[in-house]
Structure 1
Amino acid sequence: MPPVPHRAVPPSRFCVGEVGTRRRRGAVPDPAPVTEGPEEGEHRVRPRRRVPPRTPRRWSLAALAVVASVALAGCGTAADRPDDNSAAAPGIGAAPGTTDEALGGVATEQAPIYWVGTGDQSGYLFREFRNPEDTSTADPVARAAAMVTRATPMDPDYRTLWSPVSTVGTSVSPDGIITVDLPAAAFGTQLSEKDAQMALQQMVYTVSAAAVTAGLLDASTAKEVRILVDGRTGFSAFGSVDLSDPLTRDTSLAAPVWLIDPQTDADPGSPLTVFLRVLPAVHDVRWEVTQDERTVRSGTVAAASPGSDPTVGTELRTTIDLDPGEYTVRVAGTNDQGTVLVDDHVITVAATR
């Protein structure tokens, strides 16, 4: 089948450098090769831990509650809303500020980046908050979009389906339309229609979260994402999906088992807050913290009530005291097909500062 023809967008529809809610094209340096984490079943080599400690501007671990709490939240909104009690995984409405020594002590906003899972969770999206790789780009939405294509997930169980690019253009309108202009090189890999849809949702989730985190859109505003390729619409993404129409979030891609906080390679102090979300289709859910294969702390997550909305997740937040050292935090549950779904993160609890 011949490629779908695509047309140029009139300049009035996509403004580069316009003042206000419009964002100019953001350029980031040439990308380094992206190395995806190993698939499930392979030997897992953990990436090195980040050296600079995170200094949350609005969230303090010391201020976290000392008791566990269980709450209900909409699917896809766990940690997708402001939450003053979460240090490593705040809501979509506000990301923590960090002071990174490598950036000369300049305060920068962390970017919400969504990744695709692997193994039994390969059909779902997970989010990490990341320090910007390039602070010369003023546009936080363009920075986040570029990181989707070029950054490596901290968790080796996550991956990206995009090819790395160095330039991304974005614009945000007050009515919730987010336009992302990508080079054709970002679609360099031929994907099946299913994987192509997943890759597009990876971008949609990321830029819509970044727009709210940056204060460009309100969290309650309905959001549509228009993806252009070299300034044109109608491109065939990854050789499988036509981009003529705007895209919205597909809530069915929210991870049924998701360890939100702490993130992989975090270096929190003690007490540590464990924050997780599971969907009603998952049962017999347990969480545990282990060190050298020894269980240090563990617990269960109450099952959803019969007849619960399948898109509404149960959140659990509990705070525990841990000695300094390396730990694995894990949450696991069984879905209706009998498959055990797991999300686990390796962290290092820092000595009291």
Structure 2
Amino acid sequence: MPETAAPLRAGRAMGRVRGLLLAGVLAAVPALTGCIAEAGPAPTGTLATNPTAPGTAQAPPTSAPLETTQSSNKAPVYWIGRSGSDVFLYREFRDVPDQENPVTRALRSMMSDKPFDPDFFTPWQNPDKLATSISGKDVITVDVSEDAFNSNLDADMAARAIQQLVYTATAAAASSGLIDSGQQIRVRILVDGHTDYMAFDHIQLGALMTRSTGLVAPVWIIDPQENVEVPGGSVKITGRSTTAGGKLRWQILRSGADGSTEPFLTGETTASPEQGQAGVFTLALTMPAGDYELRVAQAGTGGGPDQFEDTRAFKVR
């Protein structure tokens, strides 16, 4: 994929509003170990196909491709994050204990851990009880206690929180090889073993739900993760855009000893149009030791501003 880089002469005002972490988490408690039987097919969930907060721009109507099986023991966890005035789902990979099954581990991290990236947050609370099971090849059942929903959310944020769970559960099952990622995966959420719970006082649960389109971030830095250290020399940066073959603009700022930042590099690249790698972008940059911030955004069209910026702080040592 083509990319260009040149020293940046003037920084652009591309910053993302820092998301507020919505509430503290409760002390961790061991998960349930029961398995829940799956009934026959049920109607799809009551979530809107593409919920969008009032006054925000409409994201491209696509969802993140289902994760593929990986050998790593890291759990894929989705968080809610802000990009300007827009709110999307972003993913991080987390080290998690292996006492529970992969889906339960990922969901427990989503409900109890803080994201690495300070731009992300979660409205979920660490539940007293959490159990998951898989029926057949395409249905995940999550049974969680009512205390997980102890956050005051509006309807739009409640819809995103439920999809945060759906994305995380399906990602964990797919990446661990527990389900067939070649078909649509459905999730049923039970609360204390019962259906028809009104989550966050807005979303009725119990019916099967799938990943809603348009909620995953249009631009998404995968590696490096927030505040990690990478070896000096050639630094590989990877990410994904929901626009396959679309143009992206990126810039890197370098932090000084006094905490100030200065422009270091800027460039453009194109997200892959190839099937199986659609939307993926890769940068290979030679960088000296230092503290950096990477910014990537979809290039504006027709002279318009760039959109949907994602940022990432990292260190080169």
Q: Report the TM-score when normalising by structure 1.
A: 0.64
Going from structure 1 to structure 2, the CA distance change for 1:304 and 1:131 (only over 3 Å counts) comes to closer
Match of 2:24 in 1: none
Match of 1:84 in 2: none
Q: Which whole-Å CA distance do the structure 2 matches of 1:174 and 1:244 have between them?
A: 18
RMSD across aligned positions (CA): 3.0
Instruction: Determine whether 1:174 maps to 2:136.
Output: yes
Instruction: Determine whether 1:249 maps to 2:183.
Output: no
Q: Which whole-Å CA distance do the structure 2 matches of 1:76 and 1:113 have between them?
A: 13
Going from structure 1 to structure 2, the CA distance change for 1:153 and 1:175 (only over 3 Å counts) comes to same
Contact 1:330–1:345 (Cα < 8 Å) also in 2: yes
Q: Which whole-Å CA distance do the structure 2 matches of 1:339 and 1:318 have between them?
A: 19
Q: Which whole-Å CA distance do the structure 2 matches of 1:176 and 1:221 have between them?
A: 7
Q: Provide the identity percentage.
A: 32
Q: 1:217 Cα deviation (Å)?
A: 1.1
Aligned match for 1:76, one of 57, 64, 73: 64
- The one-letter amino acid paired with 1:240 is H
Match of 1:348 in 2: 315
Match of 2:69 in 1: 93
- The one-letter amino acid paired with 2:94 is R
Q: 1:75 Cα deviation (Å)?
A: 4.5
Contact 1:168–1:182 (Cα < 8 Å) also in 2: yes
Describe the superposition over 1:203-252 as per-residue Cα deviations: whole angstroms up to 9, x where unpaired: 00001110112221122132000000001111111110111311100121
Aligned match for 1:288, one of 240, 246, 251: 251
Any stretches of 5+ residues in structure 2 without a counterpart?
A: 1-31, 37-61, 256-260
- The one-letter amino acid paired with 2:70 is A
- Alignment map for 1:314-329 (pairs within 5 Å): 314-329=279-294
Residue aligned with 2:84, SS: helix
Going from structure 1 to structure 2, the CA distance change for 1:186 and 1:122 (only over 3 Å counts) comes to farther
Instruction: Determine whether 1:299 maps to 2:317.
Output: no
Going from structure 1 to structure 2, the CA distance change for 1:254 and 1:156 (only over 3 Å counts) comes to same
Aligned match for 2:94, one of 130, 140, 144: 130
Contact 1:145–1:206 (Cα < 8 Å) also in 2: yes
Match of 2:51 in 1: none
Q: Which whole-Å CA distance do the structure 1 matches of 2:269 and 2:165 have between them?
A: 31
Q: Which whole-Å CA distance do the structure 2 matches of 1:186 and 1:178 have between them?
A: 18
Q: 1:317 Cα deviation (Å)?
A: 0.7
Match of 2:34 in 1: 16
Going from structure 1 to structure 2, the CA distance change for 1:299 and 1:221 (only over 3 Å counts) comes to same
Match of 1:258 in 2: 220
Any stretches of 5+ residues in structure 1 without a counterpart?
A: 1-13, 19-73, 82-91, 97-108, 306-311
- The one-letter amino acid paired with 1:131 is D
Q: 1:173 Cα deviation (Å)?
A: 1.9
Going from structure 1 to structure 2, the CA distance change for 1:279 and 1:177 (only over 3 Å counts) comes to closer
Match of 1:219 in 2: 181
Describe the superposition over 1:266-287 as per-residue Cα deviations: whole angstroms up to 9, x where unpaired: 2222421111222349976311
Q: 1:174 Cα deviation (Å)?
A: 2.8
Q: 1:294 Cα deviation (Å)?
A: 3.2
Match of 1:164 in 2: 126
Match of 2:169 in 1: 207
Match of 1:150 in 2: 112
Q: Which whole-Å CA distance do the structure 2 matches of 1:188 and 1:282 have between them?
A: 42
Describe the superposition over 1:182-203 as per-residue Cα deviations: whole angstroms up to 9, x where unpaired: 1100111232221111001000
Q: Report the TM-score when normalising by structure 2.
A: 0.71
Q: 1:335 Cα deviation (Å)?
A: 5.9
Misfit runs of 4+, over 4 Å: 281-284, 334-339
Residue aligned with 2:153, SS: coil
Residue aligned with 1:244, SS: coil
